[in-house]
Structure 1
Amino acid sequence: MELTDIDLNQLVVFQQLIAERSVSRAAENLGLTQPAVSNTLAKLRRQFGDDLFVRTPAGMMPTPFAEQLAEPVGYALGMIHSGLNQHSRFAPASLERTLTIGMTDIGEIVFLPALVARLRQEAPGISLATVRTTATSLRDDMEAGKVDLAIGPLPQLKAGFFQRQLFRQRYVCLFRQGHALDRKRLSLADFKAAEHLVIVSAGTGHGRVDALIQRAGIERSTRLTVPHFVSVGHILQRSDMVATVTERLAQCLAGPFELSFRPHPLDLPDVAINVFWHAKVHRSPMHQWLRGIVFELFGDDQA
């Protein structure tokens, strides 16, 4: 197929169908009628010789061919849009929109307070929303422009994405001040003898730490297991349990919850925290500005 065989507007409709999984919502977003979107889809089906989208109870689901087509089409349209608007003056203070960032609950604790404060200064018209990086739709949502940025250890984001390391951090043991283990050095014997709060963070890079502890042959006495990190400070403050967490999270929780942390007695690998963005927004002035703020606020000099 040659470029002259297809209308650019048809690809815009295709991208909206990928994003919305709905003819009516795609039509509304584009300011078109539903019959117009349906007619465009019919033309695309004939041109590609594929159904592209199949109606299901969950919406218009893309065929395997459409999924393969989604990334290059999204990238191409994003580059065209950036190129057409590259001379537009970018003024953060005049922005009125919501930016969506993928992150874990750890990320919300570590990043959001400073990020919200900075955006309030530079772009008061911007509001933030977060989505979980464990969502199965994260890749598609970033390709469709629904998620502007993602932060964390995210090995699933590879082809079609840029990334930059923010920092590396070690794991530590976190517990209440005055705990029997609240001394200069924490031994492996101390760790084994303690009662543990275990956070099962499935689907994130942080979930690897539990597997590494088990692989080292360490049997912990688990008193409590929770599926997220938000409650860790509250629980440790009023118990004698110990939690294995990342150092930046420990730094954020130590003051408000009167906690202490020490280097982990196990030789656990550092975890890299990266920023990910889709290729289609790589040259977008707004996204470059947003990434610059994130790098400035949270990046290590070595990153």
Structure 2
Amino acid sequence: MDVWKLNLRHLRSVAMTVRLGNLKAVAKKINLSQPAVTQSIIKIEEWFGAQFFVRHPSGMHPTEFANVLSPRIEMALNLIGSNRVTSTQARAFLSLSKTGSYVAASRDIGISQPSLHRNVADLQSVLNFKLVEPRGRGIALTPKGISVARKFLLARLQLEAGFSEIYALLGKETGHISIGAMPLSRASLLPSVLVAFQKRHPHITISVVEGGHGELIEPVRDGHLDIIIGAIREHPIGKDLIQIPLFTDQPVVIGRKDHPLTKVFEKNACCQNSQIMKLAHYPWYMPGKGAPINVVWRELFNRVPVDIPNIPIMGGSVMMIRQLLLETDGLTLLSPDQVAVELEADWLVQICTVPEWMQRDIGITYRTNWHPTRAQSYLLELLNHHSRK
């Protein structure tokens, strides 16, 4: 869905007509002739194959199509900032920021290098500041260029969301949702939610990007991801992001079925100080220090107090940790959902439970200015519903 194929001036005419309801007033507001505004609206209607306005002597009455798209257009135009920026310029600069060179960008969007250079130069002239600078054989974005690229990408996402909702109204639903999935969300919650979502929205494509919080937080800020699902942070992560808790997870100590501690601890016993001191004698396989589960794990031993156990291999991959546990006397701290199959098969066992203060909130993180489509809103409803099961 290439939103830049549509003229931003035409889209602005639609949004302003919804707002003012009078073509004469719109023409005056955006410095176009009245016939030009009329032609702009006709071109948008022809593009989508839908009627956006009903013409009345009293003015232009927006249909549902116009009412759905207009707020998205306004948000996109606010992000773009200048009324003089064209779709061609925005498309060229976004491609250049993504590929890092004029050669690659010209191939990416299928225009000649001179045309690409001209569009980027024109954009810099319109904005009145430098966006790119040479670096080696390629280019690098200036600080202002980085900011503009992020805003243009978010503007494109707003338009894509609006177009997706138009097509849904026309019975031609299309669209894409990008989800950042941290380890715990991949265990059971997200798969069951996606199965339910696809039953209602089979034509929406979903991409799931796996990673830790540090790997996913900037992509959601930049608009490459719509949401992140996973352990939410207690410390502030910025006013541009919102964290919504879904459920509370209680991790447990996991080891192999014939681990020496299974002969010492009562089944499903809660770890008291004497048990925690025994846990400290074994190697542990844990995520890095920045992970919330690592923080509470360290606190578990500090409160006794007892020396922090050795972590010979550090990492967040549950598949790797599972194999390490099966072949060693090592231990880890995980949610039972993350190793449900292994626990059911009796390959791994729960060594003991941990105090309630070690619980962690699992939730959703998204941009403050994110306005979900109907399909995206349904996905959020499913996440809330399934997290309560």
Query: What TM-score results when the alignment is normalised by the length of structure 1?
Result: 0.75
CA RMSD of aligned residues (A): 3.8
8 Å CA contact retained: 1:101, 1:151: yes
51, 57, 64: which one pairs with 2:143? 64
The structure richer in strand per residue is: 1
8 Å CA contact retained: 2:232, 2:361: no
186, 200, 203: which one pairs with 2:287? 200
272, 283, 303: which one pairs with 2:372? 283
The structure richer in helix per residue is: 2
Which fold has the larger relative contact order, with Cα–Cα distance below 8 Å and residues 6 or more apart in sequence? Answer: 1
Number of the residue aligned with 2:186 = 108
Instruction: After superposition, give the CA deviation of every residue in 1:61-108 in whole Å (9 maximum; x if it has no partner).
Output: 3221223334444444433443455333169996586x5432234443
**1:174 and 2:261 are equivalent in the alignment:** no
State the alpha-carbon separation in 1 of the partners of residues 136 and 289 from structure 2: 28
Q: What letter is aligned with 2:254? A: L
Q: CA deviation at 1:29?
A: 4.7
**1:165 and 2:250 are equivalent in the alignment:** no
Q: CA deviation at 1:163?
A: 3.7
> Which range is displaced more, 192-201 or 127-136?
127-136
State the alpha-carbon separation in 2 of the partners of residues 124 and 143 from structure 1: 27
The DSSP-based 3-state class of the residue aligned with 1:222 is coil
Q: CA deviation at 1:227?
A: 1.4
State the alpha-carbon separation in 1 of the partners of residues 239 and 138 from structure 2: 26
Percent of aligned pairs with the same amino acid: 13
The DSSP-based 3-state class of the residue aligned with 2:83 is helix
219, 222, 237: which one pairs with 2:307? 219
The DSSP-based 3-state class of the residue aligned with 1:151 is strand
Q: What letter is aligned with 2:385? A: E
316, 319, 332: which one pairs with 1:243? 332
8 Å CA contact retained: 1:154, 1:204: no
Aligned residues: 297
Q: 1:238 to 1:278 in 2, by over 3 A?
A: same
Q: What letter is aligned with 2:247? A: F
State the alpha-carbon separation in 1 of the partners of residues 352 and 384 from structure 2: 27
Number of the residue aligned with 2:119 = 40
Q: What letter is aligned with 2:314? A: V
Q: What letter is aligned with 2:225? A: V
8 Å CA contact retained: 2:268, 2:351: no
Number of the residue aligned with 1:183 = 267
Q: Structure 2: 5+ residue runs without aligned partners?
A: 1-79
Number of the residue aligned with 1:259 = 349
Number of the residue aligned with 1:300 = 388
Structure with larger Rg: 2
Q: What letter is aligned with 2:307? A: E
State the alpha-carbon separation in 2 of the partners of residues 221 and 141 from structure 1: 34
Query: What TM-score results when the alignment is normalised by the length of structure 2?
Result: 0.61
Number of the residue aligned with 1:78 = 157
Q: 1:16 to 1:92 in 2, by over 3 A?
A: farther
Q: Structure 1: 5+ residue runs without aligned partners?
A: none
Q: 1:128 to 1:44 in 2, by over 3 A?
A: closer
